[in-house]
Amino acid sequence: MTRIIIGLFLWGMFLTVGFAQDNYKLVWSDEFNQDGLLDSTVWNYENGFARNEEWQWYQSDNAYCKGGCLIIEARKEKRLNPIYQEDSKDWRSSGEFIECTSSSVTTAGKKEFLYGRFEIRARIPVGKGAWPAIWLLGNSMEWPSCGEIDIMEFYRKQGIPHILANAAWGTDQRWVAEWNSKAIPFSHFLAENPDWASEFHIWRMDWSEEAIRLYLDDELLNEILLTDTYNGVIGKKRNPFMQPQYLLLNLAVGGINGGEVSEEAFPMRYEIDYVRVYQQ
């Protein structure tokens, strides 16, 4: 018994020292504990068709707080596209109808961060065509020189589900990004836990002046060294990951990466338990 007590004491000391070395303090969080709309002093709602030739029309109705979670729903609903133009070459206005709706929320212009530990606990939809994401963008330049960090993306690559952890920055060509991307087959996680899709998981980013490290349930998925992430000439050779970024949470459907969409996947439900940001 004495050995057990000493062992537990030493293990507790180890944990205490470990946490002390990290020296992280909570600087901001949203626990989504207030039912109803998001806090408008922190969050914005995107509206309309946004990017990547995705199916969904973004609107605020599809994001709400309930039971301690932010819930983002993608719903199959057909209605007239208000920006439809006959003979339009733009994918946003060329279709007569909206095929489904969803939500994308951002902290742009209201809450920005430079370095720290980011933790997001969430349960994601994995139906065919679902494309949930947790990501960050800078606002000092146009994409990709502004920098993009994808803490989490889920979609199908060549029909096979993957979880991705990425970063992108600018090159010498406008709208052409340099990517550091890791795509892990979803089967890797299912092999460890067949119930993975029905459970909540913690995505984490440790972002410092040296590196961006992206984790899922404490498993390191990708490490991006900031010595490698300087923009090209369009981005004035600056490093976008040494500048503040804002947060985005969205559920896209189909599009360039979301791929083919299954009717049976609707309604898709993306649940975020909390977002927490720590800094040293």
Best CA proximity match to 274, nearest among 69, 8, 14: 69
Looking at the DSSP bridge assignments, the partners of residue 121 are 202, 274
Q: Is 260 tagged catalytic?
A: no
- Write down the catalytic residue from 148, 209, 210, 264: 148
CA dist., res. 184 & res. 213, Å (int) = 15
* Size of the chain, expressed as the number of residues it contains: 280
Do residues 183 and 247 touch, judged by C-beta distance below 8 A? no
Cβ contacts of 7 within 8 Å, gap of 6 or more: none
> How far, CA to CA in Å, does 23 sit from each of 70, 195, 215, 280?
29, 34, 19, 5
Cα-trace Rg, the chain: 20
Q: Which of the residues 46, 73, 119, 153 is marked catalytic?
A: 153
Q: Is 153 a catalytic residue?
A: yes
Q: In the beta sheet, which residues pair with residue 134? A: 152, 249
Report the Cα–Cα distance between both ends of the chain, in Å, rounded.
38
Q: Which of 171, 191, 169 is nearest to 180 (CA)?
A: 169
Q: Return the structure tokens found at 261.
A: 């969409």
Q: CB-hemisphere CA count at 13 Å for 266?
A: 16
Active site residues: 148, 153
